[in-house]
A and B are shown apart, each in its own frame.
Chain A
Amino acid sequence: METTDIGLWGVPLAMLGGAIRVSTPFIFVSLGEAITERSGRINLGLEGTLVFGAMSAYAVAVMTGSPWLGLAAAGVAGLCFGLFHGWICKFPKVNDIAIGIALMLFGTGLAFFFGKPFIQPSAPDLPAIPFGTWSDIPQVQAALNVNVLFLIGAALAVFLWWAFRNTRIGLIVRVVGDSADAARAMGLNPNTVRLLATGVGGALAGIGGAYLSLYYPGSWTERISSGQGLMAVALVIFARWNPLGCFAAALLFGGAGALGPALQSVGVTQGYYLFYAAPYILTLIIMIATSSPSRALAGAPGELSITR
């Protein structure tokens, strides 16, 4: 193995590489949740969907030998979870947050149950595109090995940002999310729109899970998710329901997560617990700085149960 001594350059490089490697599940889950919340519902169950997506992707990839079929399976499984949430929440007086928590536990439990036989076998990985071939430094090449899902996630963020503003469907989702009465007056059925929005959100979260088990870290265990699904839901609020903001916030969290290990690797070894807490401290500061007691959060959909 050829190595080059890159010294302190390792830190920014690790953050860049980490941002690309770690952020993808955040991107997919937060974009999915952004769609759901824009339609006026909160689905807290995406952590369960993420874990179930990771399991089903890995299982199908092991059985068929194709990571793409695994990815599709994760998407379908996530869609089912999302539709289930959307269907239950259409009944009157059902609290979407409570259902979300129930589905989170249900999803992880079901994934553990079905995932048992798949912990030991190895599944084929999703392919990555080497963007670093221009460089002779192996560390740079490794950092710039970009998985296709990251690129799809980036494109999806831009597309959603554009679609929310400029398409009929985007407008329908937004009007249902801002005022169910206005939507009904327009002849729309808010429940149907929310059902579909939650379904799409679930599918994206499932795909985010597939990235965890099929690319990075790239194996199925019951501890695969360290709360990425829950953090991504919080990222949506942090990003003010803006898809581009979700993308940026996911990158920020990915890069900040790589900071702790990278600093230790160059010899900054004191206080690593503090570095590990960096992303959360940053979130707190931004949330406090931008909040106001006299108005709702800027950009918040009016029908959300937490802002209503």
Chain B
Amino acid sequence: MTDRFMLSRRDLLKTSAAGAALGLASAAFPIRGARAAATTVGFIYVGPKDDYGYNQAHAEGAATLKSIEGISIVEEENVPETVDVQKTMESMINLDGASLIFPTSFGYFDPHMLAMCAKFPDVQFRHCGGMWNKDKHPMNAGSYFGYIGMGQYLNGVVAGHATKSKKLGFVAAKPIPQVLLNINSFLLGARSVDPAITCQVIFTGEWSLAVKEAEATNALVDQGADVITCHVDSPKVVVETAAGRGAFVCGYHANQSPLAPEKYLTGAEWNWAKVYKMFVDDLVAGKPLPNFTRGGLADGFVKMSPLGPAVGEAARKQFDGTLAEMMKGGFSVIKGPLKSNKGAVVATAGQAFAETAIELESMDYLVEGVVGSTA
């Protein structure tokens, strides 16, 4: 009686033989999706595409492509940075006929995207994060990224005006160069208002840990920080917790003002719509796609959330002034004389690193005034 659900060994062999035959057949005659005139573009996200954060910023950019004639997009979310992403890319290429793929998460690049580049030389791959190197990587790969540190500098300017305790708080995921640049920019923006301001940073150790992010925000507010910002995948928890404790917040990745309309000052947002449209226009026109794409506020890769109701006149004025300065190009956040919070000189007097400076991409220090440690 217990054998009712058991498969006999013979049945099992038969079934698996049939399955194997099917697999062989499809390998011999690859099933190509009906490739109409439409060009298909694939997007892969590491988390949910409505996370009020990193993935939402990409998904919003992808959504704007839908209005372009002859372009259809395929998306997959919650794809881990493992061999899973290779399977996703393969299915987007083989089943959906994608000819351009954007794997948007940092860890997709090596080895997953590179393996697919070798396997499908006719398909173009562009990775968000900026690791493509002409000497090491194939030409159908490439990378794009934006100088969002400038946005965090502007966040800092507004935060510097809003803080009463002269203490800011930063909830950060991991001490990698991009995150460190954001922390430093945030503090330096605030110090352009008042050089006595300090910024306390708490690293949670992971890109997405809701409870730990909430704990970190509470700990920062407990220690007197009254403006909080963050660099985690989804700032939703940080924004809601900070506003719930009565602190002001500056956003990141996407616009979080609906979560805390009164307490939201401004935010540094990605503007991927512009970048994706650029790539797709080139693709439609039959031009080769650029392999290495960077841009900041002036190029429209990054934008700021509209200033919130709590932003005062003086802050608004300095914000507009600094933004205008940045739009001219060549604005340097990291400029000498500047020391790290361990006392080492990171920029001598007269030395300045503009947003395009390659040195910034290997940043391993926190500047003086940031309370925190990179390890």
Interface set of A (CB-CB < 8 Å, partner B): 1, 3-6, 10, 13-14, 17-18, 21-22, 92-93, 112, 116, 119-120, 122, 139, 142-143, 212, 216-219, 221-224, 226, 228, 257-258, 260-262, 264-267, 269-273, 276
Asked if B236 and A219 make an inter-chain contact with CB atoms under 8 angstroms apart, the answer reads: yes
A267 and B209 CA atoms in complex are apart in Å by 21
Asked if B202 and A264 make an inter-chain contact with CB atoms under 8 angstroms apart, the answer reads: yes
Asked if A92 and B2 make an inter-chain contact with CB atoms under 8 angstroms apart, the answer reads: yes
Kindly report which residue of chain B lies nearest to residue A4, judged by CB atoms: B224
Contacts of B259 in A (CB 8 A): 122
Contacts of A143 in B (CB 8 A): 222
Asked if B210 and A226 make an inter-chain contact with CB atoms under 8 angstroms apart, the answer reads: yes
Interface membership of B269, Cβ < 8 A:
no
Interface membership of B97, Cβ < 8 A:
no
Interface membership of B226, Cβ < 8 A:
yes
Please give 19 more A-B residue pairs, beta carbons under 8 A apart, in addition to A142-B245, A261-B215, A272-B205: A21-B215, A22-B211, A119-B51, A217-B210, A217-B241, A218-B214, A219-B237, A222-B47, A223-B47, A223-B48, A223-B51, A223-B208, A223-B234, A226-B211, A257-B215, A258-B215, A261-B219, A265-B216, A269-B373
Closest CB pairs A-B (n = 3): A269-B373, A265-B219, A217-B214
Known: A93-B2, A265-B200, A269-B373. A22 touches B215 (CB 8 A): yes
A228 and B209 CA atoms in complex are apart in Å by 11
Contacts of B213 in A (CB 8 A): 217
Interface membership of B247, Cβ < 8 A:
yes
A17 and B210 CA atoms in complex are apart in Å by 17
Asked if B223 and A266 make an inter-chain contact with CB atoms under 8 angstroms apart, the answer reads: yes
Asked if B50 and A14 make an inter-chain contact with CB atoms under 8 angstroms apart, the answer reads: no
Closest Cβ–Cβ distance, residue B208 to chain A (whole Å): 4
Contact of A261 among B210, B212, B245, B373 (CB under 8 A): B212
Contacts of B226 in A (CB 8 A): 1, 3
A10 and B371 CA atoms in complex are apart in Å by 16
Contact of A223 among B210, B219, B373 (CB under 8 A): B210
Asked if B222 and A119 make an inter-chain contact with CB atoms under 8 angstroms apart, the answer reads: no
Residues 1-56 of B at the A interface (beta carbon under 8 Å): 2, 47-48, 50-52
Contacts of B218 in A (CB 8 A): 14, 17-18, 21, 142, 261
Interface membership of B349, Cβ < 8 A:
no
Interface membership of B300, Cβ < 8 A:
no
Contacts of B222 in A (CB 8 A): 6, 10, 13-14, 17, 139, 142-143, 262, 265
Q: List 11 A-B contacts (CB under 8 A).
A: A17-B222, A21-B215, A93-B2, A120-B50, A142-B218, A218-B244, A222-B78, A257-B211, A262-B219, A266-B223, A269-B371
Contacts of B164 in A (CB 8 A): 1
Known: A3-B226, A22-B215, A219-B240. A264 touches B51 (CB 8 A): no
Contacts of A1 in B (CB 8 A): 164, 226, 246-247
Asked if B247 and A222 make an inter-chain contact with CB atoms under 8 angstroms apart, the answer reads: no
A266 and B164 CA atoms in complex are apart in Å by 19
Interface membership of B249, Cβ < 8 A:
no
Kindly report which residue of chain B lies nearest to residue A273, judged by CB atoms: B205
Contact of A217 among B2, B221, B240 (CB under 8 A): B240
Interface membership of B308, Cβ < 8 A:
no
Kindly report which residue of chain B lies nearest to residue A264, judged by CB atoms: B202
A92 and B4 CA atoms in complex are apart in Å by 12
Interface membership of B165, Cβ < 8 A:
yes
Kindly report which residue of chain A lies nearest to residue B209, judged by CB atoms: A226
Kindly report which residue of chain A lies nearest to residue B263, judged by CB atoms: A1
Contact of A265 among B47, B223, B244 (CB under 8 A): B223
